[in-house]
Amino acid sequence: MQPRILTVPLNPEFLPEAALILAGLIALVLAVRLLFARQPLRALGVGAISVACMALALWMGRSGWVHAMNKYGYGATAAWSKPVGLIPESTPGHKAEPPFMALVLGNVLLRVAPADRYVLSVGDEPFLTLDSLRTGLRVSCDLAGVDGSRVRVEDNLVISSEGRDVRQGRIPSTFLLQQQSEDVLRVHFAEPRRIEIAGRFRPFFERGSARNVARGRPEPARVSFEGGIRWEGGGVAPGATIDLTPQGKGRIDFAKSGMIQIRPN
């Protein structure tokens, strides 16, 4: 499987900045035309407007007050910066790598066929993607915060959060997300063929029940990798080992029947 080409998704949250930049460019062109028309005072005024638009767009794009994602540990240019992939904490050296990938989910070992990309789903609804393992692990997922709010992560960047006090930390081998001093997600790239994950997830396309929406209550997590695996339909106690390698490559689905199985992508 060829590694996919990574691109930064267009985020509607930055449309005001884009409009300001466009207005600044138009004003700049108008200022140049006024200058050639020998109207220096008007050109100076329009040029000042152009500079103000550009400066305001730059400030808004970098501000943590305007965009919460700038608070999550990737610096002022988080929205446009290239995400950094996780690297294994250790390598086997001269030892042969195991013939399977070990996904440790809530201290449950899943053995799956080696691949460059893994998609995990519950009831056929994807909630976690592990991608580009050869060039640096990138995580995309939909999380349930401490208060049940939704947190969206794409390629190791927090894209959106409904809750408050969401903090992101990352060392070369570990991606950590916390809310109210509690871990919401921890992905540890321990070895080239071992990834350890703990967290609470909500599928992106899941919609809350009408009763909870009407009452303004957040939906709970649909999948939990904390002290074992729990999902709607089943669960696995911590310390267990499940071998899925005979099923080949594909999407790892936690079915409502209580089975964990490989399905075609």
Cα–Cα distance between 150 and 219 in angstroms, integer? 9
Cα–Cα distance between 234 and 201 in angstroms, integer? 15
Both 134 and 221 in one domain: the answer is: yes
Instruction: Point out the domain boundary residue: 22, 56, 71.
Output: 71
Asked if residue 245 belongs to a domain, the reply is: yes
pLDDT confidence of residue 1: 36
Instruction: Point out the domain boundary residue: 21, 55, 71.
Output: 71
Q: pLDDT of 21-71, one tens digit each? A: 888 899 898 988 888 888 888 888 888 998 998 888 888 777 655 554 554
Tokens found for residue 205: 């396309």
Instruction: Point out the domain boundary residue: 71, 91, 114.
Output: 71
Both 51 and 151 in one domain: the answer is: no
Asked if residue 4 belongs to a domain, the reply is: no
CA-to-CA separations, 222 to 59, 92, 163, in angstroms, rounded: 38, 35, 17
The domain tally of the chain equals 2
Rounded mean pLDDT of 138-150?
A: 84
Both 124 and 214 in one domain: the answer is: yes
Model-level pTM greater than 0.95? no
Both 110 and 149 in one domain: the answer is: yes
User: Range of 53's domain?
Assistant: 12-71
Both 43 and 167 in one domain: the answer is: no
The fraction of the chain above a pLDDT of 70, given in percent, is: 76
Other CB atoms within 10 Å distance of the CB of residue 80: 9
Cα–Cα distance between 151 and 259 in angstroms, integer? 27
Both 182 and 230 in one domain: the answer is: yes
Asked if residue 82 belongs to a domain, the reply is: no
